[in-house]
Structure 1
Amino acid sequence: MRAVVVSAFRAEPALVQLPKPDPEAGEVRVRIEYAALNPCDWQLADEDPDAVAPPVFPLVVGVDYAGRVDMIGRGDNRFRVGDCVFGRVGGTPAGGGTYCDFVSVPQDSAITLVPEGLPLRTAAALPSAGMAAAQLLETAVLRGHESLLIIGAAGGVGSYLTQLASARDLRVLAAVRGDEEHRMRALGAAVTIDTTVRPLEAAVRDACPEGVDALVDLVSATPEAFAAHAALVRDGGIAVTTRGVAGPAALPTGVGGIDFRLEPTPVLLDVLAAGAAEGVLQVPVDIELPLEKAPQALDRNRAGGARGKTLFVL
């Protein structure tokens, strides 16, 4: 099968041929039709070699997928051959990512049926970004009529989070790079801040003179950058990062900090898929590319400025 792999930490991704994985007992093998790009795809390949439980090489890149079950492992199984499914692989200790033609996953992992009427391409864009957005909203413990500043709001997670927060009657301040006002307002943002033309701090202070109630920072990779954004949160508010940089030194006095970690579940996938199928949740697909273009797409995503989801068509 075709697969996009890295052969070592920080190595360039390459398209290679690998054997098809055979499903073990309790697993299903999925013929992937769409795989979605997430920042964690290249972040894992760039990880420190001394990290706990490093991946096994060659590492197949990717975690999100949608496709059809083509083989069932031994024993009882809740899926059948031909089922349309989507999900997220639970890490890649053996190099089994989703930028490939086939993947084998446990039936009790973050995998579920695609509801009738939901295209596979749409389902593939949901898992990581959609589940992260839903869990981020719960992590921030916001219940309505409060303000939420999202840094990196135009990307996949930010687009979902904007919609989910707006549906909960939160006042969303969407920080983006570029002219995204029309799109972000359509997703429910009350205020859109183009940080390429206006300083973030001034714009936030104009909109919320006392500071925002909560911050979700999807982009800052250093404690210093996160601290600058956390300074915009009011006393008693909360600042959440997805990049693991919420150390005590990064937080102003009186502001709580959380390092967010995604906990994928099939139940959450079902909820997101139902929302997308009913048209309640817009799924922002930016571009579709053949698998051969994945190495270049990873480089572009690493450079930042994502607009919605990138899908690979297999």
Structure 2
Amino acid sequence: MRSRAGRATVGIVTVGGDWEVLPMRAIAVSAFRAEPGPVEVPKPEPAAGEVRVKIEYAALNPHDWQSPDASWSAADRPVFPLVIGVDFAGRVDMIGSGDNPFRVGDPVLGRVGTAVRRAGTYCEYVCVPQDSPIVLSPRDLAPRDAAALPSAGMAAAQLLKAAAVRPGGRLLVIGAAGGVGSCLTQLAAARDVRVIAAVRGDERTRMGALGATATIDTTVWAGALEAAVRETCPDGVDALVDLVSTDPASFAAHAALVRRGGVALSSRGAAGPPTAPAGARCADFRLIPTAVLLSTLAKASASGALSVPIDVELPLEKAPRALAENRAGGARGKTLFVL
């Protein structure tokens, strides 16, 4: 079928001579702090400089359940229903007007912006600006692996850079078994950084295979992480990446294990007072997605140099329950939704 402008379209029908946009399946929230659920929303049309992607896989990230609970300013109030999700892999199925490096049929992966008026990725189609973090998927990268990569891979790469650990140095990762921690362990090990991974006991073997020098079983050392780290590193670690703690007190307890002059980073906004002892620099990490970085990571993943562990694949309709389980903690790799 063709539009009035003569361009091929998908999902447009005529009803009594009028044009009607067909709906698509999505997972969205209907109000602030509401539970996500299945909805039908209009299939988006790409604006100038955008591409529309038919999503094949969307990946779950903590951001997906945190975003509906956030406090928004009056200027940034979201439009409901708010489709959640940021990571995706699929194929370009429509091109907006203007110059564009992509073509219909291109396999792509990417991360949508977090602006609240933009569509998320827990849906069948998403429109993405061509200059956003969206890149061609390498030939040898499977769509499921591509979808797992954007947030986890880019966060890991930027966390490693911010930690500034030299070869031979020690990096403590709290919550290392998830997507970000697994990528961070691999990237750090490739740079001869000695990773101490704090994980649940049954993840120790896998983390060792990913390059961790030492692992700490948090189920055995519950309440005694400090003793376990001191046993491995009597002088303290050179840097900390805390992917778990949500309150400043817990983060500070972990940051106290960092030597003077080291760096302690929180991915959960917990690097506030109380802080670590004088001499350790504490900071909250914020991801800055870029297409250049994503392309580099995609090539590394296609070559086998980097892998994101995938825990489970689920149909989109199972997303609400999966989000609730992720909120409860204990992620062991990525959860993917199959479209």
Pairwise TM-score range, normalised by the shorter structure: over 0.9
**TM-score normalised by the chain length of structure 1:** 0.98
Kindly indicate whether residue 233 of structure 2 is the aligned counterpart of residue 208 of structure 1: yes
* Contact 1:9–1:49 (8 Å) recurs in 2: no
- For 1:155 and 1:283, locate their aligned partners in 2 and report how far apart those are by CA, in whole Å: 9
1:2, CA displacement in angstroms? 0.3
* Contact 2:27–2:39 (8 Å) recurs in 1: yes
- For 2:61 and 2:307, locate their aligned partners in 1 and report how far apart those are by CA, in whole Å: 18
Please give the per-residue CA displacement for 1:39-74, whole angstroms capped at 9, x wherever unaligned.
011011111245873432211010000000000001
Q: Which has the larger radius of gyration?
A: 2
| Code of the aligned partner of 2:311 | D
* Equivalent residue number for residue 154 of structure 2: 131
- For 2:197 and 2:45, locate their aligned partners in 1 and report how far apart those are by CA, in whole Å: 44
- Relative to structure 1, is the Cα distance of residues 78 and 29 closer, same or farther in structure 2, using a 3 angstrom cutoff? same
* Equivalent residue number for residue 19 of structure 1: 42
* Equivalent residue number for residue 279 of structure 2: 254
**TM-score normalised by the chain length of structure 2:** 0.91
* Equivalent residue number for residue 298 of structure 1: 323
* Equivalent residue number for residue 309 of structure 1: 334
Please give the residue correspondences for 1:33-182 in structure 2 after superposition, counting only pairs within 5 Å: 33-49=56-72, 53-182=76-205
Please give the per-residue CA displacement for 1:15-37, whole angstroms capped at 9, x wherever unaligned.
11111010000000000000000
SS at match of 1:269: helix
| Code of the aligned partner of 1:14 | G
1:258, CA displacement in angstroms? 1.5
- For 1:150 and 1:288, locate their aligned partners in 2 and report how far apart those are by CA, in whole Å: 26
Structure 1 segments unaligned to the other structure (5+ residues):
none
| Code of the aligned partner of 2:242 | D
* Contact 1:59–1:92 (8 Å) recurs in 2: no
- For 1:52 and 1:244, locate their aligned partners in 2 and report how far apart those are by CA, in whole Å: 23
* Equivalent residue number for residue 304 of structure 2: 279
Please give the residue correspondences for 1:4-15 in structure 2 after superposition, counting only pairs within 5 Å: 4-15=27-38
Worse overlay, 140-149 or 29-38: 140-149
1:235, CA displacement in angstroms? 1.2
| Code of the aligned partner of 1:121 | R
* Contact 2:249–2:273 (8 Å) recurs in 1: no
| Code of the aligned partner of 1:266 | A
Aligned residues: 314
Please give the per-residue CA displacement for 1:96-144, whole angstroms capped at 9, x wherever unaligned.
1000000001000000000111111110000000000000000111121
* Contact 2:248–2:273 (8 Å) recurs in 1: no
Please give the per-residue CA displacement for 1:77-103, whole angstroms capped at 9, x wherever unaligned.
110000000000011421510000000
Identity in percent: 69
SS at match of 1:62: coil
- For 1:252 and 1:59, locate their aligned partners in 2 and report how far apart those are by CA, in whole Å: 42
- For 1:40 and 1:248, locate their aligned partners in 2 and report how far apart those are by CA, in whole Å: 23
- For 2:75 and 2:256, locate their aligned partners in 1 and report how far apart those are by CA, in whole Å: 32
* Contact 2:178–2:331 (8 Å) recurs in 1: yes
Structure 2 segments unaligned to the other structure (5+ residues):
1-23
* Contact 2:261–2:280 (8 Å) recurs in 1: yes
* Equivalent residue number for residue 243 of structure 1: 268
* Contact 1:58–1:95 (8 Å) recurs in 2: no
